[in-house]
């Protein structure tokens, strides 16, 4: 009897009650479901690579293909200012983090709707779905790093000593992409036409981010001074500029811009998690 | 001893807001335009209580059955207990790790192999990786898929997928197990195996909440039961008592004249008033297997004339179970462009194709995608046995599947198959 009582004392108690407005992010629940996040991430990778003819090499080929195409079109025909860096190198250093961002926003936005069946049949912290999408894309991002380094070496551009600092700017990109993906995912459950808007949003963000263009001219002066503070509201501005500065020594994005971008990305993340947490309670009813 | 309570449900209720269509989601553009047109009042929603005032307790080690007609709120209750959706009011307290099985094979991915799916599905059902590794061989053995474990699931037969999915689920060992109608999958032998597994689970002292349409398995597995009706508890107590109440309710519903039935769906533009069977122009109690028969549905249209109506009759072997025979006027090319305001719809069936057994009959009418009227279990029909094939042999009742004309033959795989092939094709022509 005493052992039975001990068992009872040890069993978890689950209280099911009506939704409360401010329940906060349940980090404990996420931690308890870490193995589920691991397997969902693994599923993403397995399925993505099984469905592609090129397998894992897709993660390598995709940024390479983009860089060469952009180098061929913009680098030779249009001749954009790239601060004396070969265009292909300039482009790919920005493209690899960008492809992660675009993927994480786009795949994140559909993560809940895609697994509607899971949501309506099984309980788990719903945040596990956008998290596993983002994690699986981080794996692609890591695979892309040697590609970038190889391109830099081929074109004979030196790698800066500051290169490890790129991780900080990549983190800014990860926070932004995860935040936007999560926000769109939650909105998409209730308003299904948001799924059509997201690709357009990603396109606009691509052109608003200095990936194929530069915010400074060949002499390192801002093309139109002051506009960088507005551009920095898009956190990917500082993320991409920062990564490129750290790795190949282009212009430093500037502390005010970095501060604006960092604040903006934290606002995005906060709003996304808040909205997700309040919408989460009716996902199963709406999906 | 309050410690022994595993599940305590207090005053639980769930309200749904339903829009004009059935989809739970909306379009942002529509919502904004509606919001603008109505000066910010937003779209109107109808309210609907799927559950109301639900109170019950389940003791540790007890197996509770939940029964009720379609739409009584069973699924909503299970979704709340398994934390998929939250209640609108009241609360439920569960003591112990909860495992829920609302649909076998949820989260199976077609591209992944059996092995990969076991781990993914296990994780989805909240099993730890170590637990899955420990039970892996057992799961594979129970599912009986041996050599195909590293084959993508998309190459499995549906039976194999079902067996694998149930096998993973069956090895879930939470303190509280919530199960929804999973026993009605697979072939008979596999169902027996699953039932055995369920019995074992409840003998091990776990608390089980089980919903099913299969009264037999509810009686076999459960200690006590709850019957839900229109979102409220209509009967509670020992499983025997509740099942009796439920059966009594079905019989009571049947003795009610069809026009007095209130448990119908649809907008009411058309109402069925009576259903009967005819043979050679005479009313009969029940059809006979293999004999021609007419199904007659009489109706009225209280809201004025109805256009472009379609009618359907469904025969099912179980209350709420899958259809054994589905008759549908639209797919057979019969269109009723303008209906008389009251009348009878007649469906003539040559050689009634169901073996002798009991069937639940559902009838419905719709027009342009809108349900006009639908009545479940409008009657429980006992089909009389007859000689369908004209061979003097009776069809087997236990199959309860539709009978069709068929021709059987056997051919040797010898040297000159062309002669035999020609022979068999000429005989079937």
Model confidence band, residue A89 (pLDDT cutoffs 50, 70, 90): confident
Nearest to A191 among B25, B89, B103 (CB): B25
CB contact under 8 A, B27 and A192: yes
pLDDT of amino acid A2: 42
CB contact under 8 A, A191 and B27: yes
- What secondary structure does DSSP assign to B310-348, as a single string? EEEEEEESSTT--EEEEEETTTTT--EEE--SEEEEEEE
Count Cα atoms within 13 angstroms, Cβ side, for B390. 5
Edge-first strand listing for the sheet containing B232-238: B98-101, B176-180, B207-211, B63-68, B224-229, B232-238
Q: Within an 8 Å CB–CB cutoff, is residue B94 touching chain A?
A: yes
**Lookup: tokens for B237:** 């107590």
- Average pLDDT score over residue span A47-73: 76
Predicted TM-score (pTM) of the model is 0.73
Pairing state between β B224-229 and B63-68: parallel
Distance between CA atoms of residues B217 and B199, nearest Å: 10
Q: Within an 8 Å CB–CB cutoff, is residue A117 touching chain B?
A: yes
Contacts of B229 (CB under 8 A, 6+ apart): B68, B69, B72, B249
Beta bridge partners of A203: none
Q: Best interface-test mutation with B: which of A14, A15, A197 has the largest number of B CBs within 10 A?
A: A14
pLDDT of amino acid B54: 94
Q: Please give the interface size between A and B, counted as residue pairs whose CB atoms are below 8 Å apart.
A: 133
Backbone angles phi, psi at A260, to 5 degrees: -60, -45
Nearest C-alpha in A relative to B118 = A39
CB contact under 8 A, A122 and B92: no
- Tell me the residues of chain B between 158 and 197 that have a Cβ less than 8 Å away from chain A: 175
Nearest C-alpha in A relative to B100 = A122
Give residue-wise pLDDT tens across range B157-173: 877 888 888 888 878 88
Which residues in chain B have Cβ-Cβ distances shorter than 8 Å to A40? 120, 123
Q: Within an 8 Å CB–CB cutoff, is residue B130 touching chain A?
A: no
pLDDT of amino acid B31: 74
pLDDT of amino acid B381: 80
pLDDT of amino acid B422: 46
Burial class (CB in 10 A: 0-12, 13-18, 19+), B347: middle
CB contact under 8 A, B83 and A16: yes
Residue A287 is classified by DSSP as -
- pLDDT at residue A183 tops 90: yes
Of residues B288 and B194, more confidently modeled = B288
Give residue-wise pLDDT tens across range B332-344: 888 788 888 888 9
Distance from CA of B111 to the nearest CA of A (A): 6
Distance between CA atoms of residues A101 and A96, nearest Å: 9
Backbone angles phi, psi at A150, to 5 degrees: -65, -45
User: What number of other Cβ atoms are within 10 A of residue A158's Cβ?
Assistant: 9
Q: Within an 8 Å CB–CB cutoff, is residue B100 touching chain A?
A: yes
- pLDDT at residue A101 tops 90: yes
Distance between CA atoms of residues B107 and A135, nearest Å: 19
Quote the percentage of chain A above a pLDDT of 70. Answer: 89
User: Which stretch, A103-107, A210-214, B100-104, B424-428, has highest mean pLDDT?
Assistant: A103-107
Nearest C-alpha in A relative to B112 = A47
Give residue-wise pLDDT tens across range B44-83: 667 888 999 999 999 988 999 998 877 788 888 988 998 8
Give residue-wise pLDDT tens across range A105-119: 999 999 999 998 889
Nearest to B95 among A11, A50, A122 (CB): A11
- What secondary structure does DSSP assign to B218-276, as a single string? HHHH-SEEEEEETTEEEEEEEHHHHHHHHHHHHHHHHHS-GGG---EES-SSSEEEEEE
């Amino acid at each position: 009897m005493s052992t039975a009582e001990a068992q009872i004392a040890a069993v978890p108690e689950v209280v099911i009650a009506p939704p409360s407005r401010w329940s906060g992010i349940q980090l404990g629940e996420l931690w308890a479901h870490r193995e589920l996040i691991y397997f969902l991430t693994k599923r993403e990778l397995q399925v993505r690579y099984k469905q592609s003819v090129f397998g894992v090499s897709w993660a390598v080929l995709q940024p390479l293909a983009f860089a060469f195409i952009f180098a061929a079109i913009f680098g030779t025909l249009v001749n954009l200012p790239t601060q004396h860096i070969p265009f292909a190198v300039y482009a790919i250093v920005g493209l690899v983090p960008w492809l992660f961002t675009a993927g994480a926003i786009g795949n994140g936005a559909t993560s809940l709707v895609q697994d509607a069946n899971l949501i309506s049949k099984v309980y788990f912290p719903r945040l596990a779905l956008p998290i596993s999408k983002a994690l699986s894309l981080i794996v692609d991002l890591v695979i892309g790093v040697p590609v970038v380094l190889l391109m830099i070496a081929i074109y004979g551009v030196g790698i800066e000593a500051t290169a490890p600092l790129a991780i900080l700017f990549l983190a800014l990109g990860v926070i932004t992409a995860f935040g936007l993906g999560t926000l769109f995912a939650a909105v998409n459950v209730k308003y299904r036409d948001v799924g059509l808007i997201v690709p357009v949003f990603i396109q606009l963000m691509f052109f608003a981010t200095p990936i194929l263009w530069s915010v400074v001219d060949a002499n390192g002066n801002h093309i139109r001074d002051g506009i960088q503070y507005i551009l920095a509201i898009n956190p990917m501005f500082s993320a991409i500029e920062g990564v490129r500065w750290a790795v190949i020594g282009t212009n430093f994005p500037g502390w005010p811009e970095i501060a604006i971008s960092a604040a903006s990305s934290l606002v995005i993340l906060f709003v996304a998690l808040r909205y997700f947490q309040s919408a989460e309670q009716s996902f199963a009813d709406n999906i | 001893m309050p410690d022994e309570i595993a599940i305590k449900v207090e005053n639980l209720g769930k309200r749904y807001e339903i829009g004009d269509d059935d989809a739970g989601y909306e379009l942002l553009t529509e919502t904004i335009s509606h919001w603008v047109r109505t000066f910010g009042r937003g779209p109107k929603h109808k309210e609907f209580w799927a559950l109301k005032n639900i109170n019950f307790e389940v003791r540790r080690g007890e197996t509770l059955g939940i029964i009720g007609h379609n739409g009584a709120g069973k699924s909503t209750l299970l979704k709340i207990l398994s934390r998929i959706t939250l209640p609108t009011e009241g609360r439920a307290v569960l003591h112990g790790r909860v495992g829920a099985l609302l649909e076998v094979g949820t989260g199976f991915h077609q591209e992944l192999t059996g092995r990969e799916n076991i781990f993914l599905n296990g994780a989805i059902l909240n099993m730890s990786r170590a637990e899955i590794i420990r039970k892996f061989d057992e799961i594979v053995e129970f599912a009986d898929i041996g050599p195909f474990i590293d084959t993508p699931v998309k190459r499995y037969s549906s039976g194999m997928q079902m067996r694998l999915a149930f096998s993973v689920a069956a090895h879930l060992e939470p303190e509280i197990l919530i199960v929804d109608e999973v026993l009605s999958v697979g072939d008979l032998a596999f169902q027996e195996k699953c039932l055995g597994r369920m019995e074992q689970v409840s003998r091990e002292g776990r608390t089980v909440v089980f919903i099913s349409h299969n009264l037999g398995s509810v009686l076999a597995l459960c200690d006590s039961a709850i019957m839900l009706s229109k979102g409220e508890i209509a009967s509670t107590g020992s499983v025997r008592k509740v099942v009796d109440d439920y059966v009594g309710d079905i019989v009571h519903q049947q003795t009610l004249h069809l026009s007095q039935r209130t448990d119908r769906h649809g907008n009411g533009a058309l109402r069925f008033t009576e259903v009967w069977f005819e043979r050679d122009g005479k009313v009969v109690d029940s059809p006979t297997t293999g004999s021609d028969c007419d199904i007659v549905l009489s109706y009225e249209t209280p809201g004025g004339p109805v256009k472009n109506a379609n009618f359907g009759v469904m025969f099912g072997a179980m209350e709420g179970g899958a259809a054994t025979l589905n008759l549908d006027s639209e797919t057979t090319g019969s269109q009723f462009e303008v209906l008389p305001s009251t009348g009878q719809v007649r469906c003539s069936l040559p050689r009634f194709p169901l073996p002798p057994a009991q069937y639940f009959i559902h009838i419905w009418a719709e027009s342009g995608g809108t349900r006009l009227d639908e009545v479940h279990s409008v009657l429980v029909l006992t089909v009389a046995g007859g000689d369908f094939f004209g061979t003097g042999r009776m069809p087997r009742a236990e199959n309860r599947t539709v009978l069709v004309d068929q021709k059987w033959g056997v051919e040797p795989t010898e040297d000159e198959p062309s002669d035999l092939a020609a022979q068999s094709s000429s005989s079937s022509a």
